[in-house]
Amino acid sequence: MENIRMVDLVSQYENMKEEIDAAMQRVVSESRFINGPDVKDFSGNLSSYLGAKHVIPCANGTDALQLALMALDLPAGSEVLVPSFNYVAAAEMLPICGLEPVFFDSRPDTFNLDEDKIEDAISEKTRAIIVVHLFGQACDMDRIMSIASKRDLKVIEDNAQSIGSTTNLSGGDQKFLGTIGDIGTTSFFPSKNLGCYGDGGAVYTQDDALAEKVRMFANHGQVKKYEYDLIGINSRLDTLQASILNVKIKRLNGYIEARRGVAAYYDDQLKDLDWLETPYRNDFSKHVFHQYTLRIKGVERDALKAYLESKGIPSMIYYPKPLHQNPAYSHYRTMDLKVADQLSNEVLSIPMHTELEESTLDFICETIKDFK
């Protein structure tokens, strides 16, 4: 079987080519490339989708984290808790914003930060926690918000991998991830569940004052043109990218359903193999499967990866090294990170996207089953 991809953006585009081409052509004809009307429309569309009072588009998901931290304005040198088994963006923005990452451990089942270990990681200097809803599944926001309110911590939700996922909260509310903490951030990197055709990101919050600050920081700290109340950066979502996102956001729920269908197929085919674990689902949220990540336990993970490659099946290791093991981050305070270390040796993500056909899924599953 040919051309199996981890993410198939080509086929996805082919399925909405006319609408995307028309949107892009219109933006080019109007030539309002910066802060054109599509950007405002997209902000409104995402805000209605998520039920977030404010959505501020920006240039990428890393900038979104930076803008969130700038707006929260924590005292210089404050510690911020962040999981070590994670993409680098949250950790790197902390020193850049004059803050100290403190790495703590993950859960072996969901791969998300371990809520049981938050309290132990808090010191007198701790002021915030960055909650990363990894691979499309929610952290336990009830527990996190209750610890945060008891210990006076700000909560930043990194929603780059989990847009569209909802969680049930005590009291019966169901909310979209990213809208529960003080501030949420996301990325529209092309392979994300809602991806554009380049870089893009957004910050969301229910808080008017935080939103105003994020808007200003993203626009050079300007109150109005050429008047600067804050020292800011330049972080904008292009009009062209916004026009693409306006086409794709209408399809987001369909994309999520397609991903869940792929996950259910994999679960069904792979669940009986005793040398791997299929993804665990917590019972309070709805997984949106940004990744379908296996834990390989009874065979050599890297040998399996090489074998799949030889059969034309791509796979990826997210993440091969927890952040604390990297020279740039090894001098920061850490907690016991046994699970993060273990996960990095065991995880393997297999193809997950919106256009996977049953024959391809069948081939992938049969090939995996034949490994041992």
Q: Which one of 34-42, 154-162, 275-283, 325-333 is the stretch in contact with ligand PLP (CB under 6 A)?
A: 154-162
The reply to whether 158 sits near ligand PLP by the rule CB under 6 A is yes
Q: Which one of 7-15, 156-164, 303-311, 348-356 is the stretch in contact with ligand PLP (CB under 6 A)?
A: 156-164
Candidate residues 7, 8, 78, 87; the one interacting with ligand PLP per rule CB under 6 A = 87
Question: Taking CB under 6 A as the criterion, which residues in 279-338 touch ligand PLP?
Answer: none
What whole-number distance in Å separates Cα of residue 157 and Cα of residue 65?
9
Give me the residues paired with residue 104 across strands: 83
Longest dimension (CA), the chain: 66
Question: Taking CB under 6 A as the criterion, which residues in 343-372 touch ligand PLP?
Answer: none
Least Å from the CB of residue 192 to ligand PLP: 7
CB hemisphere CA count around 221 (13 angstroms): 7
Q: Residue 5 or 311: which CB sits closer to ligand PLP?
A: 5
Q: Residue 205 or 360: which CB sits closer to ligand PLP?
A: 205
Least Å from the CB of residue 132 to ligand PLP: 5
The sheet with strand 54-58 has its strands ordered as 54-58, 201-205, 183-187, 154-158, 126-132, 79-83, 100-104
The reply to whether 61 sits near ligand PLP by the rule CB under 6 A is yes
Helix ranges (H only) for the chain are: 9-14, 17-30, 37-50, 61-72, 89-96, 118-121, 141-151, 208-218, 239-249, 252-270, 301-310, 338-346, 358-369
Candidate residues 12, 43, 45, 60; the one interacting with ligand PLP per rule CB under 6 A = 60
Q: Which whole-number Å values give the CA distances from 60 to 15, 37, 39, 51, 327, in the listed order?
A: 25, 19, 14, 21, 25
Least Å from the CB of residue 268 to ligand PLP: 27
Judged by CB under 6 A, how many residues of this single chain contact ligand PLP? Answer: 13
Q: Which whole-number Å values give the CA distances from 176 to 39, 52, 96, 157, 271, in the listed order?
A: 21, 9, 29, 11, 29
Closest CA to 20 of 192, 195, 163, 191: 195
For 177-231, give the DSSP string: TTSSSSEEEEE--TTSSS--SS--EEEEES-HHHHHHHHHHHBTTEEETTEESS-
Angle, vertex CA 10, rays to CA 8 and CA 16, nearest 5: 110
The reply to whether 137 sits near ligand PLP by the rule CB under 6 A is no
Q: Residue 249 or 304: which CB sits closer to ligand PLP?
A: 249
Structure tokens at 259: 């991903």
Q: Residue 69 or 132: which CB sits closer to ligand PLP?
A: 132
The helix/strand/coil state of 137 is coil
What whole-number distance in Å separates Cα of residue 347 and Cα of residue 183?
29
Q: Residue 113 or 356: which CB sits closer to ligand PLP?
A: 113
Q: Residue 103 or 189: which CB sits closer to ligand PLP?
A: 189
Candidate residues 199, 238, 277, 355; the one interacting with ligand PLP per rule CB under 6 A = 199
Instruction: Using CB positions, name the residue nearest to ligand PLP.
Output: 61
The reply to whether 189 sits near ligand PLP by the rule CB under 6 A is yes
Candidate residues 12, 43, 62, 66; the one interacting with ligand PLP per rule CB under 6 A = 62
Candidate residues 160, 263, 276, 304; the one interacting with ligand PLP per rule CB under 6 A = 160
The reply to whether 161 sits near ligand PLP by the rule CB under 6 A is yes
The reply to whether 187 sits near ligand PLP by the rule CB under 6 A is yes
Candidate residues 83, 136, 195, 201; the one interacting with ligand PLP per rule CB under 6 A = 201
The reply to whether 66 sits near ligand PLP by the rule CB under 6 A is no
Residue ranges that bind ligand PLP, judged by CB under 6 A: 60-62, 87, 89, 132, 158, 160-161, 187, 189, 199, 201
